[in-house]
Structure formats: structure tokens, C-alpha cells
């Protein structure tokens, strides 16, 4: 995985220093990008949805991807940090799975290059799904006979019930979890009345204050970088912000925690701002409860700005225009369990 933290950081600061030139407002594409190695098919998407909702390949049989990424709501779990097997708490707030397909790298620190890679992480994280290793997880899936025809439909004959194919199916499903068509997207597509006057004020404030320097592009998660290249920023940038202490924003050193490289201290992948209405509480540690407070914290810690109440409410109104619409989804049908799977 190539990383370009220095370039990205410079880009962000330059844009801010230049007074945040008016960005080009672009709508979210109707389809997420797919890697050539994993073209989406309906069979793959359906299998991926089954796996996404299946708690049986967590150690206790109680935690699925959907447990912490609830796609019936905001694609996260409305908790500061998630709870995995045996009541254990995670270290960071679950990021939303909605529109993750538009990110150039996954996890809060961008350590997974693709959705396919990301899918294998939580299964074997001891405080998340808690499986001993990936072969043990696949053994669970193989012992559920009813999965085999779905793998065959998606990947053909032969030895196809593999972790690589399970990850491909999950990624294909996640590429359907996108929300083009929000009020903002309709505005960006030329429907000028789609945003209220207050939301338009918010859009202008979002740009002029400097939010758009990092939260740019149709997904508000940065420029379109090559797959596997995370768009990283330092957070907090202004450590003198009073919020850094009050919300404990610097305790977790971000990408450094997984790479151990000094240059990665406090670097984080810039998250999407879509569907924030649904993803409280905010920040990597889930410490900020409301959207207005999240706006104040970011302005202070990243831009050294104290916003007026009017700026905050306008920006929040704009962020609310980045909500949904969420696609209708049928529930998957999961195949039956052999009685000794979880004893």
C-alpha cells in the first residue's frame, strides 16, 4: 500500500491557507467503483449480504458484521465504542459502512487497502468476532451446508468456499451500501431548489471555513486517490484546542498504533460526512455526542477556528442534506445450522 500523508497534509493546509477556494460540488455516483479482480454480480451481492448478517462465524455465534454496522440504521452502532463477543469493548467507534465503498482505504487509520481486505479483520479480532483464525471462520461456513450452492452461484464450481471468496462477496455487498440521491446530490446535479436557503448558507460556510479542504469530493472524504492509498490527515492538528483535552482526542495515536512509524502519529483517514445524522456519537473515540458539537470540535482542532452559533447551525443544516436515501433491502435468508456448530 502506498501512503501519501505528507502530500495529503500539505494539500489540506494549502487549501485552508488559501481561504478554501470554492470547491466543485459533485454528486455521488450511482454505482461504487469495483476492482477488476472482483466485478459485482447479483449472486455475489446476495451471498455477501448473507455473510454480512450471519453471526455464526463469530466465536459465540452472536456477533455479525451487522451487529456493529447496522445497515437498518446508520451503518454503525450508535455506541461510543462497539461491544463484541463476551461483552468486550472495542477501542474505536465503529465507522459507518454506508459509502465505505467510495473510500480509497478502510478502517479509521486506512490500514486495509480494500473492502475485501477489511472484511477479514473483525472476524479474527479478539474483542470483535473473536474467531481463532480465518481457517476456523471458514470451517464454520463450510459446516453450514446451505452456503455451498450460494458460493457456487457466485464463484463457480470447485473449491470455492474460501476466505478470499467470502471477502469478495462481502465487498460486493458493501458496494451496494451507498446513498446517492440525497438533497445535496440533487443540488449538485443541478436541482438548485433541493437545498434550503439555510442549507445553502451552510454549504458556503462549509467551504469558506475550510471544512472542504479535507472533506472534499462527492463522498466528503477527500480526493479520489488510487485504491489502497488512504487520504490521511493529522488529528488533532491544533493541540491547543480546549476540546483536545475535554474529549480526549489525542490519546489514540491513530495510524501509528498499527504501523509504529513516528510519521504516522495522529494520522487518520478522513471519514465521509454523509449520513452523520445517523452516526452519533462522533469522532474516533465516540466522545462527541451531537452534530453541532462535532462541528465546533473539528473547526477548533483542525482549523483553529471558533465558529459563531449561526455558522454552526448553518453547517449542520448543510450536513443534514447529506442524508440518505437508503436503498430498500430484502432480508437475506440464512441456511440452517448443524446442531453442534456452537456447542
Provide the annotated active-site residues.
128
Cβ proximity to its own copies: between 264 and 320 the closer is 320
Cβ of residue 177: shortest distance to its own copies, in angstroms?
Answer: 12
DSSP label at 288?
B
Cβ of residue 259: shortest distance to its own copies, in angstroms?
Answer: 30
Structure-block grid coordinates of residue 54: 450471519
Cβ proximity to its own copies: between 152 and 337 the closer is 337
Tell me, letter by letter, the H, E, C secondary structure of 169-221.
HHHHHHCCCCCCCCHHHHHHCCCHHHCCHHHHHHHHHHHHHCHHHHCCCCCCC
Cβ of residue 64: shortest distance to its own copies, in angstroms?
Answer: 9
| Exposure string over 263-294, b if 16+ CB within 10 A, otherwise e | ebebbbbbbbbbbbebbbbbbbbbbbeebbbb
Cβ proximity to its own copies: between 140 and 266 the closer is 140
The DSSP code sequence of 56-88 is GGSTTS---HHHHS-TTTTSS-SSSS-B-GGG-
Q: Name the 3-class secondary structure at 267.
A: strand
Residue 89 forms beta bridges with which residues? 83
How far apart CA 120 and CA 125 sit, in angstroms, is 9
Q: Are 298 and 94 in contact (CB under 8 A)?
A: no
How far apart CA 235 and CA 237 sit, in angstroms, is 5
Question: Is beta strand 267-269 parallel, antiparallel or unpaired with respect to 232-234?
Answer: antiparallel
Cβ proximity to its own copies: between 261 and 289 the closer is 289
Element housing 318 (H / E): helix 309-320
- What Å distances lie between residue 108 and 93, 114, 221, CA to CA? 9, 13, 12
Q: Which residues bind its own copies (CB under 8 A)?
A: 53, 55-56, 60-62, 67, 70-74, 77-80, 83, 85-88, 277-278, 280-282, 288-291, 326, 328-343
Burial of 343 (0-12, 13-18, 19+ CB in 10 A): exposed
Cβ proximity to its own copies: between 55 and 121 the closer is 55
Cβ proximity to its own copies: between 210 and 286 the closer is 286
Cβ of residue 87: shortest distance to its own copies, in angstroms?
Answer: 4
Residue for grid cell 494539500: 11
| Helix axes 163-174 and 42-52, enclosed angle (nearest 10) | 100
Cβ of residue 148: shortest distance to its own copies, in angstroms?
Answer: 16
User: Cα dihedral angle (282, 231, 100, 323), rounded to 10 degrees?
Assistant: 50
Q: Name the 3-class secondary structure at 297.
A: helix
Cβ proximity to its own copies: between 306 and 329 the closer is 329
Cβ of residue 54: shortest distance to its own copies, in angstroms?
Answer: 8
Cβ of residue 143: shortest distance to its own copies, in angstroms?
Answer: 12
Amino acid at each position: 500500500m502506498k501512503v501519501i500523508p505528507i502530500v495529503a497534509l500539505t494539500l489540506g493546509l494549502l487549501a485552508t491557507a488559501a481561504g478554501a477556494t470554492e470547491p466543485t460540488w459533485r454528486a455521488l455516483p450511482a454505482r461504487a467503483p469495483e476492482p477488476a479482480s472482483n466485478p459485482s454480480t447479483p449472486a455475489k451481492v446476495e451471498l455477501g449480504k448473507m455473510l454480512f448478517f450471519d453471526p455464526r462465524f463469530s466465536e459465540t455465534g452472536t456477533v455479525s458484521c451487522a451487529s456493529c454496522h447496522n445497515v437498518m440504521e446508520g451503518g454503525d452502532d450508535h455506541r461510543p465504542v462497539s461491544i463484541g463477543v463476551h461483552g468486550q469493548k472495542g477501542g474505536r467507534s465503529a465507522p459507518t459502512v454506508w459509502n465505505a465503498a467510495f473510500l480509497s482505504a478502510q478502517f479509521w487509520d486506512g490500514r486495509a487497502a480494500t473492502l475485501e481486505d477489511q472484511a477479514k479483520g473483525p472476524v479474527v479480532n479478539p474483542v470483535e468476532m473473536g474467531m481463532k483464525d480465518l481457517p476456523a471462520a471458514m470451517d464454520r461456513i463450510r459446516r453450514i451446508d446451505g452456503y455451498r450452492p450460494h458460493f457456487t452461484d457466485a464463484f463457480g464450481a470447485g473449491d470455492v468456499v474460501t476466505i478470499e471468496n467470502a471477502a469478495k462477496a462481502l465487498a460486493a455487498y458493501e458496494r451496494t451500501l451507498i446513498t446517492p440521491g440525497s438533497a445535496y446530490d440533487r443540488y449538485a446535479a443541478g436541482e438548485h431548489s433541493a437545498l434550503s436557503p439555510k442549507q445553502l448558507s451552510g454549504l458556503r460556510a462549509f467551504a469558506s471555513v475550510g471544512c472542504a479542504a479535507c472533506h472534499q469530493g462527492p463522498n466528503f472524504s477527500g480526493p479520489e486517490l488510487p485504491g489502497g492509498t488512504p487520504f490521511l490527515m493529522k488529528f488533532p492538528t491544533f493541540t491547543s484546542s480546549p476540546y483536545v483535552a475535554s474529549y480526549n482526542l489525542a490519546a489514540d495515536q491513530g495510524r501509528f498504533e498499527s504501523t509504529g512509524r513516528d510519521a504516522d502519529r495522529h494520522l487518520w483517514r478522513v471519514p465521509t460526512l454523509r449520513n452523520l445524522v445517523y452516526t452519533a456519537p462522533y469522532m474516533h473515540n465516540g466522545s462527541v455526542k451531537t452534530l453541532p458539537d462535532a462541528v465546533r470540535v473539528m473547526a477548533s482542532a483542525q482549523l483553529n477556528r471558533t465558529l459563531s452559533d449561526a455558522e454552526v447551525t448553518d453547517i449542520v443544516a448543510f450536513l443534514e442534506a447529506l442524508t440518505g436515501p437508503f436503498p430498500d433491502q430484502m432480508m437475506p435468508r440464512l441456511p440452517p445450522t448443524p446442531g453442534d456448530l456452537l456447542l
